[in-house]
Amino acid sequence: MKAIDKKRQADFQIIAHWVNEGDRVLDLGCGRGVLLEYLKQKKSIYGVGVDIDLDKILSCVKRGVPAYQGDIRAMLATFPENAFDRVIFSRTVEQLEDPDAVLAEGLRVGRRVAVGFVNKAFWLNRLNIFLKGRRTVNEVYPKPWYESLPANPFSVAEFEDYCDARRIVIENRVFLSGDWRSECSRFPNLMAGYAIYDLASID
């Protein structure tokens, strides 16, 4: 297994802590399968990935990670209720065309759902908009807007409002500082660069 990007180490470790040994895991927007490979090594999971990008699916296959190319919402519709112990959306929700419907489907097919996202309201993002009138360009957002994929970013506060409105149970939450390594314990909507939520449906 290749070394994991330092910005993803804490993210992966948190999700691995929530995953049980031998769990059935579905990673939606799995990319090159790095997270599933990590979970397979750490927790001996049975993992399946879904991604729209064929090159990334081929990378999954090279890693020995089962993965399917296709639309996330269409793929979710093929699974019965509670088909997986854990469904993962890692930096995926903000790129979905209908995130509300897809998250609902994720909660249907998974007993628990992990959602990780970049916090739009992080102080540096606010500062760049206020002082420069421009979005932040850094390691997280390396490309200008015209070279980036369509996205609908949101904040920690907005996501919690959403969970409250849809009566989604927040079982656990972890906020990481701007370095994505150390934990953020205060004012997460302002000070957290990245957020990870462990969700469940109301029984």
Only one residue has tokens 């910005």, namely 7
**How far apart, in whole angstroms, are the C-alpha atoms of residue 89 and residue 125?**
22
The band of 41, judged by pLDDT with boundaries at 50, 70 and 90, is: very high
Whole-structure pTM value? 0.90
Q: What does the alpha-carbon distance between residue 41 and residue 67 come to, in Å, rounded to a whole number? A: 17
Cβ contact 105:73 at 8 Å:
yes
pLDDT per residue over 58-74, tens digit each? 999 999 999 999 999 99
Residues 6+ apart with CB under 8 A from 24: 45, 46, 47, 83, 84, 85, 86
Q: What are the tens digits of pLDDT across the range 6-25? A: 566 889 999 999 999 999 99
Q: How confident is the model at residue 47 (pLDDT cuts 50, 70, 90)?
A: very high
Pick from 4, 195, 23: which is nearest to 115 by CA?
195
